[in-house]
């Protein structure tokens, strides 16, 4: 028996299939993810995948009846009355104020907490805020995609109840380690509104303009929470004790929970599943289901497709990656201010903790200024679109120019703060730097979070969860460098360094305006979403033509009968 030569062995076709690369595997999962979610979206919006009857019910291949929204269906969140949508918006805004206020609640109370428990390490002074933000890192990666899997309402209420419980635990904390553990748990559950609210707003506001305005109000409230926190902790700690900082937070959370319990479910697949279950309950022999009922919900899909979605978006979507980097830096700088402001206003100007807390108010004023700027640009864009201006048709011009304005304002505020904070200059001058700081901060967040919400549509919650987790990582790490950086570089040097980094990042919105369309054209998620959306529109048009033809035929038959 002759053995094959080496050349023959090398030329023999391999019987083993080629293993896909990691990138190919990620893209494959993302494509299946988009296909599955859009099939469900098609079914939910009365667009069957075959020649089904013109009804809110159509059969699938197994004889099951799949229900979907009727035209002008009152139970469809898009068709809810405006007053109900506005109540939902206000509820989510108040919930987010609790969440963001909790992040900075102990900011001015830390010296009194550490004194009671004998903590002397300056590194540990940062931990009550950093451990909370560590919860912000991990929480959204679960809550965002889970809300796209099981719905918004129950997840929001459950997480907020746990947030309330752990806030009470902080008020009763017996020692420093327990406090840090409780703060981590508070942050984990407090991150749910940050991750889920964008999805709720996308559920109820179908029109991009209205949704953008709702997002603008939501974004402004995210700033006021951390601004209220230093005022509460600053005055409470010096008068009635640092524990009352958390008791006040708990009272506010309890009042909010009453509002939150009235929050309806807004996620269409869950609402249709409930409708189908109600029909089956009334008629046990019926085979009526929602599209979501027929979707596989095994643990493998949950892990590989749902929970990994934010991570896949960070790794493979350039838009998400760039937005995460920019928002992470400015968010971290915002939380660094909770160490920087005491250095500036207490050490340089000798202000009390309570009055130092009031120095955050110009940031809130600046955040308020961002709203009329946002609405004015909305009006300008609408006028340009009505005139048919070519620039107004580009997706990037709907939101991104606001970040192009906010970025330079944010940079200016940091140099203003750093170079005016001197003992021979009134403390009012560096304090007023908070106005462009707040305006720039909010405009950047409004623009970029709205941008990724519009770009990723049904995956808005996952895209925002990715952004939330990334910026929280930076907000955990960078504050540890605040005190050493200000000690080594001085106030002017440290603020100039942060301003320089912000200056580099502020080119990102300009790149989006310049090349955003090309970037989206290469995005796996955006390509799949666009294809599915065009397919839905095509099927919807065909369905409308069939309906018109049927109505015309029925009219002719009626005329013949009358004759």
Let me know whether 359 and 457 are in one domain: yes
536, part of any domain = no
198, part of any domain = yes
Q: Please state which of the ranges 9-18, 194-203, 254-263 shows the lowest mean pLDDT.
A: 9-18
Q: Look at residue 195 in the predicted model and tell me its pLDDT.
A: 78
Let me know whether 159 and 131 are in one domain: yes
298 φ, ψ (degrees, to nearest 5): -75, 165
Q: Tens digits of per-residue pLDDT, 323-371? A: 888 988 998 898 888 888 888 988 888 888 888 888 888 998 998 899 8
296 φ, ψ (degrees, to nearest 5): -65, 130
Let me know whether 343 and 480 are in one domain: yes
CA torsion sign for 71, 73, 76, 78 is positive
Domain enclosing residue 57, as ranges: 45-74+263-293
Let me know whether 81 and 69 are in one domain: no
pLDDT at 302 > cutoff 60? no
Residue 50, helix vs strand vs coil: coil
33, part of any domain = no
Q: Look at residue 29 in the predicted model and tell me its pLDDT.
A: 53
Residues β-bridged to residue 58:
66
Let me know whether 279 and 196 are in one domain: no
101, part of any domain = yes
Percentage, residues of the chain above pLDDT 90: 27
Mean pLDDT of the residues in the chain: 80
Let me know whether 118 and 229 are in one domain: yes
The position carrying tokens 């929050």 is 263
Let me know whether 231 and 335 are in one domain: yes
pLDDT at 55 > cutoff 50? no
493, part of any domain = yes
CA torsion sign for 543, 544, 545, 549 is positive
541 φ, ψ (degrees, to nearest 5): -65, -45
Q: What is the CATH number of the domain that holds 494?
A: 1.20.1250.20
DSSP class per residue in 63-98:
SPEEE-PPTT-TTSGGGS-HHHHHHHHHHHHHHHHH
Q: Higher model confidence: residue 171 or residue 389? A: 171
pLDDT at 31 > cutoff 80? no
Let me know whether 427 and 452 are in one domain: yes
Let me know whether 278 and 315 are in one domain: no
For the segment 167-183, the average pLDDT, to the nearest whole number, is: 94
Q: Tens digits of per-residue pLDDT, 464-509? A: 667 777 777 787 788 888 888 998 999 999 999 999 999 999 999 9
Let me know whether 248 and 289 are in one domain: no
486 φ, ψ (degrees, to nearest 5): -70, -30
Burial class (CB in 10 A: 0-12, 13-18, 19+), 113: buried
Let me know whether 521 and 376 are in one domain: yes
SS (H, E, C) 146-213: HHHHHCCHHHHHHHHHHHHHHHHHHHCCCCHHHHHHHHHHHHHHHHHHHHHHHHHHHHHCCCHHHHHH
Q: Look at residue 9 in the predicted model and tell me its pLDDT.
A: 39
Q: Please state which of the ranges 8-17, 72-81, 282-291 shows the lowest mean pLDDT.
A: 8-17
Residues β-bridged to residue 66:
58, 289
For the segment 415-419, the average pLDDT, to the nearest whole number, is: 93
550, part of any domain = no
pLDDT at 142 > cutoff 70? yes
pLDDT at 30 > cutoff 80? no
For the segment 198-225, the average pLDDT, to the nearest whole number, is: 83
Let me know whether 376 and 498 are in one domain: yes
19, part of any domain = no
Q: Count structural domains, the chain.
A: 2
**Would you tell me how many other CB atoms lie within 10 Å of the CB of residue 430?**
25
pLDDT at 309 > cutoff 90? no
Q: Look at residue 46 in the predicted model and tell me its pLDDT.
A: 43
Q: How far is the first Cα of the chain from the last one, in angstroms, to the nearest whole number?
A: 94
DSSP class per residue in 393-436:
GSGGGGTHHHHHHHHHHHHHHHHHHHHH-STTS-THHHHHTHHH
Residues β-bridged to residue 289:
66
Cα distance between residue 507 and residue 327, in whole Å:
13
285, part of any domain = yes
For residues 186 and 170, is the Cβ–Cβ distance under 8 A? yes
């Amino acid at each position: 028996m002759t053995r094959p030569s080496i050349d023959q062995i090398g030329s023999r076709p391999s019987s083993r299939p080629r293993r896909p690369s990691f990138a190919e595997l990620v893209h494959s999962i993302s494509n299946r993810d988009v296909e599955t979610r859009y099939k469900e979206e098609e079914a939910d919006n009365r667009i069957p995948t075959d020649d089904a009857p013109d009804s809110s019910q159509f059969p699938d291949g197994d004889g099951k009846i799949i229900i979907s929204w009727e035209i002008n269906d009152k139970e469809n969140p898009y068709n809810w009355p405006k007053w109900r949508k506005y109540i939902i918006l206000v509820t989510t805004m108040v919930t987010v104020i609790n969440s963001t206020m909790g992040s900075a609640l102990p900011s001015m109370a830390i010296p009194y907490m550490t004194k009671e428990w004998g903590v002397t390490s300056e590194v540990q002074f940062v931990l009550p805020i950093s451990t909370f933000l560590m919860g912000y890192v991990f929480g959204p990666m679960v809550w965002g995609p889970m809300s796209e899997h099981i719905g918004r309402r129950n997840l929001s209420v459950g997480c907020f109840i746990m947030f309330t419980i752990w806030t009470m635990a902080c008020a009763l904390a017996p020692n420093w380690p327990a406090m840090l553990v409780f703060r981590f748990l508070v942050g984990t559950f407090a991150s749910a509104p940050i991750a889920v609210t964008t999805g709720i707003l996308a559920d109820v506001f179908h029109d991009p303009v209205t949704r953008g305005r709702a997002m603008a109000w939501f974004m402004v409230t995210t700033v006021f929470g951390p601004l209220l926190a230093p005022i509460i902790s600053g005055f409470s700690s010096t008068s009635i004790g640092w524990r009352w900082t958390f008791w006040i937070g708990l009272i506010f959370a309890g009042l909010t929970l009453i509002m939150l319990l009235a929050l309806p479910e807004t996620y269409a697949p869950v609402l249709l599943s409930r409708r189908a279950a109600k029909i089956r309950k009334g008629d046990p022999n019926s085979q009526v289901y929602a599209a979501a009922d027929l979707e596989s919900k095994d643990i493998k899909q949950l892990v590989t497709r749902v929970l990994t979605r934010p991570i896949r978006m960070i790794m493979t979507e350039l838009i998400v990656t760039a937005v995460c980097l920019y928002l992470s830096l400015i968010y971290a700088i915002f939380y660094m201010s909770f160490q920087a402001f005491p250095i500036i206003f207490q050490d340089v100007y000798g202000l009390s903790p309570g009055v130092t807390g009031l120095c955050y108010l110009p940031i809130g004023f600046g955040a308020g200024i961002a709203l009329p700027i946002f609405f004015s640009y909305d009006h300008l864009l609408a006028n340009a679109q009505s005139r048919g201006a070519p620039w107004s048709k580009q997706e990037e011009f709907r939101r991104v120019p606001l970040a192009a304005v906010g970025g330079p304002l944010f940079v200016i505020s940091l140099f203003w703060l750093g170079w005016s904070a001197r003992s021979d200059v009134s403390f009012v001058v560096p304090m007023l730097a908070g106005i462009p700081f707040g305006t720039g901060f909010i405009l950047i967040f409004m623009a970029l979070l709205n941008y990724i919400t519009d770009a990723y549509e049904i995956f808005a919650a996952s895209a925002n969860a990715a952004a939330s987790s990334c910026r929280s990582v930076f907000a955990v790490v960078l504050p540890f460098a605040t005190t050493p950086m200000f000690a080594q570089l001085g106030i002017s040097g440290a603020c100039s360094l942060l301003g320089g980094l912000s200056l580099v990042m502020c080119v990102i919105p300009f790149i989006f305006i310049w090349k955003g369309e090309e970037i989206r054209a290469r995005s796996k998620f955006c390509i799949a979403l666009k294809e599915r959306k065009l397919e839905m529109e095509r099927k919807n048009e065909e369905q409308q033509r069939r309906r018109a033809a049927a109505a015309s035929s029925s009219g002719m038959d009626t005329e013949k009968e009358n004759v």
